[in-house]
Structure 1
Amino acid sequence: MTNIIDVKNVSKSFGHLKVINDCSIAVEEGSITGLIGPNGAGKSTLFNIIAGAFPADAGSIHFAGEDITHIPANQLFHKGLLRTFQIAHEFSHMSALENLMMVPGDQSGESLFNAWFKPGLVRSEELAVRQKALDVIDFLSLGHVKNELAGNLSGGQKKLLELGRTMMADPKVVLLDEIAAGVNRTLLQDLIANIQRLNKELGYTFLVIEHDMDMIAKLCNPVIVLAQGSVMVQGTIEEIQNNEEVVEAYFGTEAH
């Protein structure tokens, strides 16, 4: 298998606090890779560095063979590297469908010239984007709320919508940050099923930060354990759950 993400010897400090410490991870193309660790391990910071939100102090990041160490998030979006957030960032006063239609960039209608002099082009693009959004809505079984204001959706529906927004950009890799947080068990099963479908049917690669070990067990192979900003161990979920170092990192010596 080919590594689509290669993080090599990355470090990051905030003031005197070193959050990421000479960290190296690899994500295989076509995998659903889990990233777990105790609170404060540096998981979200590492995500932010990979996604271009924070600059690394040292080390390098390669995406699909390209050095993206110093490339900002907006450019990575167009290269097919996207992320979700622990708290969904929906446009609350727009419908679920409109939220999806907002995603594709560089639409002709954004140009005043095209709006005035090429209305046919603008209209045809809008229709294509709308159809794609409807296809995503159908894929995620959100048709019953497509015209509902996104701010009125449940936590789980917002997370599905967030996943749908990544689909509108046809990503190569999606970084999922605590996507199970605040989601009821029924909708969580829908989320898991949709992630698996996107992986198997559309070839999406996922890197998943998650505290829900049941979700990690159902979705992820391999699983990487981060502790104090560095990789502690990597393996299958069974190997991770039976690793004494991991148990101690999560629960302390009293767990023995």
Structure 2
Amino acid sequence: MTSDLVIDVRNVTKRFGGLVAVNNCSLAVRRGSVTGLIGPNGAGKSSLFNIVAGNIVPDDGQVIFDGTDVTGMKPHQLFGIGMLRTFQIAHEFSQMTALENLMMVPGDQPGEHLIDTWFRPRLVRSRETEVRKKALDVIDFLKLGHVRNELAGNLSGGQKKLLELGRTMMVDAKVVLLDEVAAGVNKTLLNDLAANIERMNRELGYTFFVIEHDMDLIGRLCDPVIVMAQGEKIAEGPMADIRANPAIVEAYFGTPVEAA
């Protein structure tokens, strides 16, 4: 039976010298959700996010992904089993077009192997046609057709974030980790980005785990929202409940926050 939990963090602890960044923390991301992770600077949320993404190995505890213990697995290994991450600073291939950037994503394409290019050219062409069609479908979904042949390095910050989102659509992602998706994006493109995340969740069934400082974006996209402080999970629920909790508002937002 398939578990409702796609990510299950169990009693994870991470120390950096004498600093306990994550302290016996447990949390979960449910399949089909857009789950937010927030907290003040130093709360441990970035460390926990990096542990889930495979960039940091925890000292104690487990990360279970889709029923499998993936604790300590590297990002490329997690990519291979369906956990994808976008970054605060987009990592595009700047001298390739937007379309070519998307076509680079699927792994183990026949054209990557010299023997196949020599002796199986029909297979190479067939797979390339298939990948190109999918990339064009993704570009159409994200409404990036007007920049599909533009060098990715020339795109705006928001367009680069959309392109990163498109990369996650080129493979069968079980969960997408969104790292500060609002950073460096103007309000117009941020609205487009948020709308596409909502569409991917609603129409295509994508699960998202979001770390973000923009509370308005978190409030729009995420349910539930998980709050961390001092390395521990301290609250979880709809953003309206988080905003309405006086203890959380005072301790972790500094000033009262208007209810959404």
Deviation at 1:228, TM superposition (A): 1.3
2:246–2:256 contact (8 Å) kept in structure 1: no
**Between 40-49 and 102-111, the greater mean CA deviation after superposition:** 40-49
What is the 5 A alignment of 1:89-104?
Answer: 89-104=91-106
Aligned to 1:204: 206
- Aligned pair 1:168/2:170, yes or no? yes
- What secondary structure, in the 3-state scheme, does the structure 2 residue paired with 1:174 have? strand
1:227–1:249 contact (8 Å) kept in structure 2: no
Deviation at 1:16, TM superposition (A): 1.8
- What secondary structure, in the 3-state scheme, does the structure 2 residue paired with 1:198 have? helix
2:53–2:78 contact (8 Å) kept in structure 1: yes
Report Cα offsets for 1:159-186 as digits up to 9, x if no partner: 0001001111220100101101111111
- Aligned pair 1:59/2:61, yes or no? yes
Deviation at 1:249, TM superposition (A): 2.6
Counterpart of 1:11 (choices 13, 16, 40) is 13
User: What is the RMSD computed on CA atoms of the aligned residues?
Assistant: 1.4
- Aligned pair 1:216/2:211, yes or no? no
Deviation at 1:202, TM superposition (A): 1.1
**Structure 1 ranges of 4+ moved more than 2 A:** 248-252
Counterpart of 1:123 (choices 110, 122, 125) is 125
Distance 2:86 2:126 in 1: 29
Distance 1:85 1:101 in 2: 19
Unaligned runs of 5+ in 2: none
Normalised by the length of structure 1, the TM-score is 0.96
Aligned to 1:70: 72
Counterpart of 1:188 (choices 179, 190, 193) is 190
Aligned to 1:141: 143
Distance 1:235 1:251 in 2: 16
Distance 1:243 1:83 in 2: 31
Deviation at 1:255, TM superposition (A): 6.0
Report Cα offsets for 1:142-170 as digits up to 9, x if no partner: 00000111111001000000100111122
Q: Which AA in structure 2 matches 1:114? A: D
Aligned length: 255
Distance 1:139 1:222 in 2: 26
Unaligned runs of 5+ in 1: none
Distance 2:256 2:172 in 1: 44
2:56–2:72 contact (8 Å) kept in structure 1: no
Distance 1:26 1:174 in 2: 14
Normalised by the length of structure 2, the TM-score is 0.95
